[in-house]
Structure 1
Amino acid sequence: MKDNNNKNIISRRSFLKFTGVAIGTAGTGLLTGCGEADVNLVPPAQSEPSSNLPSTWDDSADYIYVGFGGAAAMAAIHTSKTYPNAKILIIEQHTAGGGSTKICGAGTYLGGGTATQTANGFSENADDFYKNAVATAGEGGDADILRTYSDNVKATFDALVEAGVQYQGFNPGYFSSPPNGTSLIFDNERRPEILSAAGLTTPVPHVHFALADTTTTLTRAATMWRSLENKVLALSNVKISYSTEAKSLLTDNTGRVVGITATKDGATKNFKATRAVLLCCGGFINNDEMVKQFIPHAMSCMRGGSGRDKGAGIKMAQAIGADVKLMNAAEDFCPIFMDDPALVRAIAVTPSGDRFAAEDLGGPEMGRLIARQYPDSYIVFDSQTYNEIPEATRTKLQLKTGATIEALASELGIVPQYLAQTVARYNASASGGLDQQFKKGADVLRALNVGPFYAYKRTRSRVFTLSCGGLRINTKTQVLRPDGSVIKGLYAAGATTAHINAQHYLAGGGTSGAFSFGRIAGLEMAKENSWA
């Protein structure tokens, strides 16, 4: 459902013109089939608002949140700061909170001059962060949303630290997750096309990984969630109803959202929200029907989510007339160096033996290519790289080997002369210090000339995927109708909403969006007046 009146939506043409995204990839297919979708997940709302108020209420609060994950935690903390006496009721389907936040990789895309950036010698303000965000956003990215995100992202970092989340140290290597004890790493900021599009000269890292509590067995993510959860549980004005599944939104005869229906212990319950409802109950990556309809390639990928990301919040809101966007968008995360940092010096080739991208591309960009264009590819490297990979990792990779490149090609079913030509071209670029084909960084451009040679298969099944489509919101996190009008009393944040960076999911972008717009939702909802 496209908003033809919004001039700040980044279009395919303007995006390609602005970013020159084809640099570093074999062609412009990165955006193929990924525009907005005109969809109705449920029957459309009636043309005139009508009340569906119950005759009695089972409980009431000033605010009701559907879902208790990162977005809800940030909202509760910040609504309570502004309005300490606010009665907040959190409806959580599971027996415990956390959602995807508790089980994610714990990386969060943050910037604008965070304490961790500054401590490690990096300087950035909100304007520079915004330039980078726009340069990395895919088709359908909303400039206003990105501006609001950029203006609030440092405050989001500060709020996480205040809640007890810890960050320290920087590692310049190529990682999908750095060794524990360091937090800050690069995503795609070093890529020349990103720097050029943003008008920046010095790359600044943004992915902040929370530190794990090494005195326990908790992961980084579980440690991060424990800090946020404890902060919320310490708020006397917050009540959490676990094992409670939200079913529908309740509206008055003006179309204002005034509560929800839910089921608990086999009974239907009606909960009244006298000020506002916040939907923050995940995306739809665990809903097979929706995945098949909107992002069918994900059915053969490694799907993430909490297991309960069924699109409930999206469908509940659309049932009362909410708009959706970017439903065909997905995070497809799979950097070449995901199995080990040393593999950034390998080459990635098609079954025909051709390179198809710069091997130092970030996880979302490389993952998208593998998931949607090259679902069967090979990672090829020489003995130098082989010896840099830990033995335990090498054992897991199911390697093919050959004394020569031609012999390796035969093992892979590739025409030997084709792979030999590809490697020769790559080695010539490495000798000259410049990858003419894809602009791979000179720091990781190394010839493959020490036999024996090795390769293993990288398939679509190795790509980690999340849904990026969802409800359309404004900069205050209010849910919008197709005509751009606000559904009063209804807010949304996190994976229930369309992703802030559109098709080009940034590493740590999911938690960053949830935390940033969860915080904004909490502040904005505190301004709501009671309708009761």
Structure 2
Amino acid sequence: MKKLKLMTMALAAVMSISMLAGCTAKSEDGNKGKEERLKADIVVIGAGGAGMTAAIQAAQDGATNVVVLEKMPQTGGNTIRTTGGMNAAATELQSKEGIEDSVELMVEDTMKGGKDLNDTELVKVLAENSSDAVKWVNENGGDLSEVGMFGGASVKRIHKPEGGAAVGPMLVQMLNENIEELNIPVMLETEAEQIVVEDGKIVGVKASNEEGEFTIDCKSVVLATGGFGANADMVVEYKEELKGFGTTNHAGATGDGIKMAKELGVELVDIEQIQTHPTVHPETQTMYTEAVRGNGAILVNKDGKRFIDELQTRDVVSEAILAQPDGVSYIVFDQKVRDGLKAIEKYISAGIIFEADTIEGLAEQIGVDAAVLTETMSTYAAAAESGTDAEFGRTSMEETLTTPKYYAGLCAPAIHHTMGGVKINTSTEVLKEDGTAIAGLFAAGEVTGGVHGANRLGGNAVTDIVVFGRIAGTNAAKYVADNGGHTEATIKVEKEEKTAAPEVDGGYKDGVYTGTGKGNGGDVTVEVTVEGGNIVKVELTDHKETPGIYEGAETAVVNAIIKTQSTEVDSVTGATLTSEAIKNAVAEAVKEAK
């Protein structure tokens, strides 16, 4: 793995970036620390899916001076955690598989799911541009090659990577590769603190990092900071009944963009609409993708009984689970469902799934009455066979769940998505409370409100970030072109390899050693090479860690170990379990080398 080194006129900071080649961004004259102001045409705040999409689209549309600010140590935001897929209507893939879908039906499903609180015009834009969004992802190196069923959809509409792999890591990797190819600087561990507006138009962004404070003078800003699902105080402020809930959000989802927007008098919409995801492991906060249910899984309570049509919208299923004994349920599936969805392997590796050769054996493991669970599974198999679910009205039952082995995972609702945020129009311009737009300010993704209404359908978030991210990028580029054209970049990208070297004498015996540590996705195996008494190479030879997240840990932790010749080094924020796994694996490996 490599690093991104950004040296600007105001700062010099080394920051790792997942999936990107090493870069150096220098001031035009190569000097550092002489000036406190930088220049850019467009500043994108947030390097999640929406932000990176906007930056790429702006560059593809001709913008030549785009800079991305990201407060976390890696790109990806909540997007990297997305497992399901992208909803899109009337696509080529649907047509090939004989699936009849339309923009109108996608609008109808989205409005119904959002309890008609959605902004209809934004929903129309979402649906009308969804097919092109799939094409854009695939044309830029992504993989949306399969289509399946998800809760709240009338037809198979969710587009997924091959084999049902998680969509988030694929998408973030694709976006990062395009960011690198287009030479767009991404300033990690750099926090935007204020959007500067003068005479009703954007003129700059104030930001800071460990090197200090600085200002980027710019013509346009794309706000893509995500939601506030990881800010417990902010969640309770807007929805008190969610106090004490866990969250599926990454640590950086703290509502920073909404706070900055409020200072500008921006209107907020649907801010109290906060969605819980129904199937989250309550101890580890691991989210079971909706595709598990979409591919055939059912939910049973602690009595071993079904209690809901599992493909109802997330709010309905969440409420139903909370009404069960202890407010939890088990997601139950068979070998056939497991074989059809790669995402399940992560849950298996993490040790949060029970498994047995028989239904009776599974019942014993999860502590429910074997006779009741057997009857539940038998009744469901008959319903799936006949195509009629007399108990709960589930219409998509392609699997009878009769293929051993049998699996179950404990789950309960957790805070997942904040539907509310800053108000935008169909051009993604940010609107003030008086209805006027702030010239040059655009927004996309979870920081905005209006698209999802009272409840987001699974698969619509990825559509949201790509569709509106692209629109924001295009319109930001057009705004710059229409208002004085491009400025000369003060942050330039130069490719530069960075290889760690020992700074102390390790005193190890030469050789190649292996060790294993427990990571987020299971065991992480490393191969450690010692030459001249020092650790000179650490390679991850086998693991199931999440792409787009583990790379940052791999880079930072491995380089720190090589430099210090010790495993007593810091973990990477946002990838703590992977970091600890690498450190423990190396420590085990070098025991013999002592």
In the superposition, the TM-score normalised over structure 2's length comes to 0.61
d(CA) in 1 for partners of 2:458, 2:252 = 22
Answer yes or no: is 1:530 the counterpart of 2:530: no
Match of 2:563? Answer: none
Match of 1:187? Answer: 150
d(CA) in 2 for partners of 1:399, 1:286 = 32
SS at 1:76's partner residue? helix
Distance 1:509 1:371, change over 3 A: farther
Residue type matched to 1:94 in 2?
M
Deviations 1:431-484 (A, max 9, x none): 986445531237469799xxxxx99785536x4623222111111111112232
Match of 2:137? Answer: 160
Check the 8 A contact 1:106/1:224 in 2, yes or no: no
Aligned pair partner of 2:86 in 101, 108, 112: 108
Match of 2:159? Answer: 208
Answer yes or no: is 1:317 the counterpart of 2:317: no
Distance 1:207 1:420, change over 3 A: closer
SS at 1:334's partner residue? strand
Residue 259 (structure 1) shift:
1.2
Match of 1:439? Answer: 393
Structure 1: gaps (5+ residues): 1-55, 169-182, 196-202, 449-453
SS at 1:495's partner residue? coil
Answer yes or no: is 1:65 the counterpart of 2:11: no
Structure 2: gaps (5+ residues): 1-34, 280-287, 340-344, 486-594
Distance 1:425 1:67, change over 3 A: closer
Check the 8 A contact 2:297/2:331 in 1, yes or no: no
SS at 1:315's partner residue? helix
1:93-492 superposed matches below 5 A = 93-105=71-83, 107-111=85-89, 113-168=90-145, 183-188=146-151, 195=154, 203=155, 205-211=156-162, 220-236=167-183, 238-252=184-198, 254-274=199-219, 276-296=220-240, 300-334=244-278, 344=296, 346=298, 348-349=300-301, 356-361=307-312, 365-370=316-321, 376-379=327-330, 396=352, 434-441=388-395, 443=397, 458-460=410-412, 463=414, 465-492=416-443
Residue 331 (structure 1) shift:
3.2
Which deviates further from its counterpart, 115-124 or 434-443? 434-443
Residue type matched to 1:467 in 2?
T
More strand as a share of residues: 2
d(CA) in 2 for partners of 1:524, 1:154 = 20
Residue 85 (structure 1) shift:
4.6
Check the 8 A contact 2:305/2:376 in 1, yes or no: yes
d(CA) in 1 for partners of 2:187, 2:320 = 42
SS at 2:249's partner residue? coil
SS at 1:526's partner residue? helix
SS at 1:159's partner residue? helix
Which deviates further from its counterpart, 310-319 or 66-75? 66-75
Match of 2:551? Answer: none
Check the 8 A contact 2:202/2:438 in 1, yes or no: yes
Deviations 1:469-519 (A, max 9, x none): 211111111111223222222111111112622232222222211111000
d(CA) in 2 for partners of 1:287, 1:264 = 21
Match of 1:503? Answer: 454
Residue 387 (structure 1) shift:
8.2
d(CA) in 1 for partners of 2:214, 2:445 = 25
Deviations 1:353-386 (A, max 9, x none): 98642234355642354358886244598xxx77
Distance 1:342 1:164, change over 3 A: closer
Residue type matched to 1:249 in 2?
I
d(CA) in 2 for partners of 1:166, 1:455 = 28
SS at 1:138's partner residue? coil
Deviations 1:121-179 (A, max 9, x none): 224343343233333333421101001111211121111112110222xxxxxxxxxxx
Check the 8 A contact 1:303/1:466 in 2, yes or no: no
Q: How many residues align?
A: 430
Residue type matched to 1:460 in 2?
A
d(CA) in 2 for partners of 1:114, 1:458 = 35
Which deviates further from its counterpart, 371-380 or 321-330? 371-380
Which deviates further from its counterpart, 360-369 or 340-349? 340-349
Residue type matched to 2:186 in 1?
I
Distance 1:187 1:245, change over 3 A: same
Residue 185 (structure 1) shift:
1.1
Distance 1:141 1:61, change over 3 A: same
Distance 1:242 1:432, change over 3 A: closer
Match of 2:539? Answer: none
RMSD (Å), alpha carbons:
4.5
SS at 2:464's partner residue? helix
Aligned pair partner of 1:90 in 46, 54, 68: 68
SS at 2:478's partner residue? coil
1:14-25 superposed matches below 5 A = none
Deviations 1:178-202 (A, max 9, x none): xxxxx3211135xxxx65xxxxxxx
Check the 8 A contact 2:68/2:185 in 1, yes or no: yes
SS at 1:271's partner residue? strand
Residue 70 (structure 1) shift:
1.6
Match of 1:75? Answer: 54
d(CA) in 2 for partners of 1:207, 1:339 = 9
In the superposition, the TM-score normalised over structure 1's length comes to 0.67
